[in-house]
Chains A and B, each alone.
Chain A
Amino acid sequence: MKPGTVSTALKSGAIWGFIILELIFFSVAGEFLSLSDKAFMDWDNMLLLLKQSAPIGIIAMGMTIVMVNGNIDLSVGATFAIAAIVLLDSMTWPIFAGLGDWVIPVAWLLALVVGTLLGALNGLIVWKTGVDAFIVTLGAMLGYRGIVFMFNGEQPTSHLNWTLVDFAEAEFLGLATASWFLLAATFVIWFVMAKTVHGRNAYAIGDNREAAVNAGIRVGPHMMINFAIIGFLAALSAVVFYSESGSVNPNDGQLYELWVITAVVLGGTKITGGAGNVIGTFGGVIAIQLLRKGLGHIGADTSTVNLVIGLILVAVLVLDRQLNMKGKEELKV
């Protein structure tokens, strides 16, 4: 057993406890309030929930490693939109006209490469200029959104490829394509963070950057790789989602960064870096989606979701502080 497993389990356990509470609450409240006669804990409903969690969830996995690393990425929503446009637009490009359905993997690849490069660009800027990741990606959020508009102005970009739609709507072993991608992203990032040297270095850098530098870890390239990973995952999230929907508005993906960060923080990742894991993040993603669906189930409208999630985020912080207070021992500063 690796060090800290118990305390980590306890901490990530909190989010699962919260999920169970949500399930109980919405099931019971649903009995009285819901207009539909279907139970909330319906299996199909839960499967749908997993699928709907995918777009935010896939990006949240990348955000976990970036935040554990001590950085943040505010540009994921814009990267998501760019990748979506590249995916849909490139399938109509004349040079790919002869490919038939082979255009699909080409378009996927293009979108993923673009996402990865945009992420890497953020990382490169953070590395080379030393400007804080918050500012770099705040700028990129605007800049990348500008690039989105360059494609089609304020018009949506649409292209439906039925083969692709079939693939995206397919189910395998009862799980939708999007769900598989979410699970795969979760597994891969879990593997990277828990098992590989790169992942352990990510914790070390977020925890004590100077120690990592002194130990000879090349912090700059390391951070760039993590930004490339989140860029890739933002693009992956986009290709999974838009393969099915086939149409992207230039404002799509806005505020995704906020949802993603909320999920990651709810999942127990430390905002200052050094601690957190994707299992917790997965819980955070599910908790948010449950809340959305659950509130819908008991007849509350979408506005309540925002209110409740915001308040929960703040409440988690307050609780965390109360639990970590050392009381009277501490200096009053």
Chain B
Amino acid sequence: MTDAKPVLRLENIVKTFPGVRALDGVSFSVMPGEVHALMGENGAGKSTLMKVLGGIHQPDGGTIFMGDDAVVMSGPLEAKAKGIVFIHQELSLAEELSVAENIYLGELPTKSLGRVDWTRLADQTNAILQKLNVGFDANTRVGDLSIANQQMVEIARALTVDAKAVIFDEPTASLTDSEKVVLFDVIADLQATNVGIIYISHRMEEIFKITDRITVLRDGQYQGTVETADSTEESVTQMMIGRTLDLSRNASHHALGEVALEVRGLSCSKHYQDVSFEVRRGEVVGFYGLVGAGRTEIAETLFGLRDPSAGQILLDGEEVRINSPADAIARGISLVPEDRKGQGLVLGMNCRDNMTLPQIDTLKAGPFVAQGAEMEIFDKYHKQLDIRTPGWKQQVGNLSGGNQQKIVIGKWLSMHPKVLIVDEPTRGIDVGSKSEIHKLLRALAAQGYAVMVISSEMPEVLHVSDRIVAMYSGRVMRTFTSEDVTEDNLIQAISGMTSEQVA
């Protein structure tokens, strides 16, 4: 492998956007038959680099080589023609069209009069689908496929061209374990045909399982390339974040208060069943499980966004029905939602207005909104949470992810809730803000808040929680205290082994 020439080599790629140097002299190369991981925190420049490679952005400096030739990618079509294929993270499919039409989108085979040659299309497609060994055919409507199968359509698309390099962008984000096995087999097959593979993922276990080398970016800068075999998770993390993140266990040393929230046998049709737990004042309860385990849906039920099909919710020992978010807010429940931009913030609104939104009706001066009271709230949490913004008038869309998250947290702290539910508190934000938010969650518990933290990052859950509720497929598998939890038994619990087996 060392003697071969790289299929793809990037040298000193620079790309600036107004105010940001998104890529600052990034170089790396992919050998034929190699799986090369590209890692970095969100915002490190991975996507920009891929867009440069795909011809969507033109670099301001640097060169892309394929083999010995310097190439210019004028657009997606040209990148594809040169044999560079993307498997996108956000599926890039037209759901109303057939599998075949999607695979050959942009280059459908034609007959006279610009007609699509359906027979040839189906034949070509079925030949590829056979290679992938999938259970659907060329004429299936893409919208009728599962997410995993839709991903297979994307991969099939990669096989239609004489691919030299295939880029997988977070391909396993929505796959089940068995589907992952199929994906890794496909990657191995590609590898065997001397295709170079760039594999972008946050999931360390996958990276260490299937990649040969790892290149790390941080803040748009190239941090180095290492052989996977010579590295450890810790060393790679260190490269990614520049320092180690404090994720030591952190159980409460203060006394816990009364039970603030109790849930008994709560079910919500097919999302989760028979869920029971309690959260005390002064306690952080972590909810850990795979995507789709039902954790977010529990939060949404508690916040009045879903109707439970059975079970009870008790606040301070009293049974309540929560019909709407307004209900939940009035009863002292707050939710920092999982999708910050989609659910947490009105991006076009300024910082202050976002922060006071849930209580806008109560901040009254005569018929009008009491702007003085609004400013007080903003100033208070601006200082307390150390939100970095030029001023309250700044549109939240212009803030960094970490500061946006602090605005959302500030918004709900200002409501002085009894129960604070935080769904994926640090998704997509930088390391500095991450540890600040972890500290904040602990501090809130110390002040007597009852806090529920839903997270898909095990170190985070272990770090902030006093107790951990492990969920699998809509059910609570086991509740751990910080004494009896280990990484191993936590993983076992969330992958579906019963508590007896674990115990």
Classify A-B as touching or not with yes or no (CB < 8 A): yes
Residue count of chain A within 8 Å CB distance of chain B: 30
Given the known interface contacts A197-B110, A198-B114, the answer about A204 and B101 at a Cβ–Cβ threshold of 8 Å is yes
Asked whether, in the complex, the Cβ of B116 is within 8 Å of the Cβ of A200, the reply is: yes
Per-residue interface assignment for chain B, residues 93 to 116, with 1 indicating a CB less than 8 Å from any chain A CB and 0 otherwise: 111111101100111101001111
Given the known interface contacts A214-B76, A215-B76, A328-B309, the answer about A207 and B96 at a Cβ–Cβ threshold of 8 Å is yes
CA distance A194 to B328 in the complex (A): 50
Residues of A with C-beta under 8 A to B269: 328-329
Closest to A332 in B: B305
Q: State how many angstroms separate the Cβ of A26 from the closest Cβ of chain B.
A: 35
Asked if B88 is at the interface (CB within 8 A of a chain A CB), the reply is yes
Asked if A246 is at the interface (CB within 8 A of a chain B CB), the reply is no
Asked whether, in the complex, the Cβ of A216 is within 8 Å of the Cβ of B76, the reply is: yes
Stretch of A1-9, A32-40, A167-175 contacting B (4+ beta carbons < 8 Å): A1-9
Asked if A210 is at the interface (CB within 8 A of a chain B CB), the reply is yes
Q: State how many angstroms separate the Cβ of A119 from the closest Cβ of chain B.
A: 19
Q: Main secondary structure on chain B at its contact with chain A?
A: loop
CA distance A332 to B301 in the complex (A): 10
Question: Which of the residues A3, A197, A216, A331 comes within 8 Å of B116, measured between beta carbons?
Answer: A197
Asked whether, in the complex, the Cβ of A214 is within 8 Å of the Cβ of B92, the reply is: yes
Asked whether, in the complex, the Cβ of A2 is within 8 Å of the Cβ of B98, the reply is: yes
Residues of B with C-beta under 8 A to A201: 105-106
Asked whether, in the complex, the Cβ of B114 is within 8 Å of the Cβ of A197, the reply is: yes
CA distance A131 to B115 in the complex (A): 31
CA distance A207 to B105 in the complex (A): 12
Asked if B430 is at the interface (CB within 8 A of a chain A CB), the reply is no
CA distance A208 to B92 in the complex (A): 7
Residues of B with C-beta under 8 A to A4: 96, 98, 141
Per-residue interface assignment for chain A, residues 237 to 275, with 1 indicating a CB less than 8 Å from any chain B CB and 0 otherwise: 000000000000000000000000000000000000011
Residues of A with C-beta under 8 A to B300: 331
Question: Which of the residues A203, A328, A332, A333 comes within 8 Å of B96, measured between beta carbons?
Answer: A203
CA distance A214 to B118 in the complex (A): 22
Asked if A147 is at the interface (CB within 8 A of a chain B CB), the reply is no
7 contacts between A and B (CB under 8 A): A3-B97, A211-B94, A212-B106, A213-B76, A215-B92, A329-B269, A329-B271
Interface residues of B (CB under 8 A from A): 54, 75-77, 80, 86, 88, 92-99, 101-102, 105-108, 110, 113-116, 118, 139-141, 269-271, 300, 304-307, 309, 324
Interface residues of A (CB under 8 A from B): 1-4, 7, 195-198, 200-201, 203-204, 207-208, 210-217, 274-275, 328-329, 331-333
Give 6 new A-B contacts, CB below 8 A, not counting A215-B76, A333-B305.
A3-B139, A195-B115, A197-B116, A215-B107, A328-B309, A332-B324
